[in-house]
């Protein structure tokens, strides 16, 4: 349609919280160009002191598309922005489906 990307025109927000639901934020995904930029921002917001970025944290980012829980990188960035509904920062040792119980 007119040679433009609709994702670039409309702002795209998603809720993000920790598994415990202690912290909750809304993130404008249209501000980021890739997963790395988003993870860097989540690291700052939730004060992981670069541990979320370099993988040394015992926590990991994941998300749901409204029906299934997924890990960052499971699909292309463009697809991620189109389908993500909620994001979670959860412990690495928690079963993948456990964060679906997190309050958001």
Which residues in the chain show pLDDT less than 70?
A: 1-11, 20-22, 95-104
Cα separations in angstroms, 76 against 35, 71, 72, 82: 9, 12, 9, 10
The whole-number pLDDT of residue 38 equals 95
Q: Decide: 85 and 65 in contact? Cβ < 8 Å.
A: yes
The whole-number pLDDT of residue 2 equals 41
The whole-number pLDDT of residue 94 equals 73
10 Å CB burial of residue 10 (0-12, 13-18, 19+) is exposed
Give the pLDDT confidence of 11-40 residue by residue, as tens digits: 688 889 887 666 788 899 989 999 999 999
CA distance 50 to 7: 29
Burial string for 79-91 (b: 16+ CB within 10 Å, else e) reads ebbebbebbbbbe
- Domains and their CATH numbers in the chain: 6-101 (3.10.20.90)
HSE-up (13 A, CA, CB side) for residue 100? 11
């Amino acid at each position: 349609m007119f040679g433009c990307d609709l994702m670039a025109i409309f702002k795209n927000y998603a809720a993000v919280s920790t598994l415990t639901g202690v912290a909750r934020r809304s993130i404008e995904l249209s501000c980021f160009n890739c997963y790395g930029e988003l993870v860097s921002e989540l690291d700052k917001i939730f004060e992981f002191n670069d541990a979320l970025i370099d993988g040394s944290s015992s926590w990991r980012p994941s998300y749901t598309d409204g029906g299934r829980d997924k890990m960052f990188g499971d699909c292309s960035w463009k697809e991620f922005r189109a389908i993500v509904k909620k994001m979670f920062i959860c412990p690495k040792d928690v079963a993948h489906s456990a964060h679906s119980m997190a309050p958001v």
